[in-house]
Amino acid sequence: MRRAAPYLVAMSLAAGSAAATDAEQLARDASDWLLSGQGLPRDYRVLLLQMDSADRLLAIAFLRRVGLLTDRPWTVEDVLRPAQPQTELAK
């Protein structure tokens, strides 16, 4: 049983790193937008509000660093707001 423990830890770490967070996926998408000369999509705020607040903060920081997020600032309330499903945002 003791020999299996390091293997199980390594497998769980590999599985956890394989799944991309919302912020990581948005960073990849934003890099593609930037390299192709596009700006943020019109619904980028909706996309960010659907994320968990921790991922949202990372995504906002990334977008600002790469120069894509230059318009109106995000309030602290919007950054820390719980994730909202698409149906609630349409209201």
49 domain-assigned: yes
Residue 88's pLDDT band (boundaries 50, 70, 90)? low
Number of domains observed in the structure of the chain: 1
The 10s digit of each residue's pLDDT in 18-75 is 467 889 999 999 999 999 999 999 999 999 999 999 999 999 999 999 999 988 889 9
7 domain-assigned: no
Domain range for 56 is: 22-80
31 domain-assigned: yes
16 domain-assigned: no
Q: Is the pTM of this model over 0.85?
A: no
Distance, CA of 39 to CA of 31 (rounded, Å): 10
Q: How far is CA 4 from the centre of its chain?
A: 34
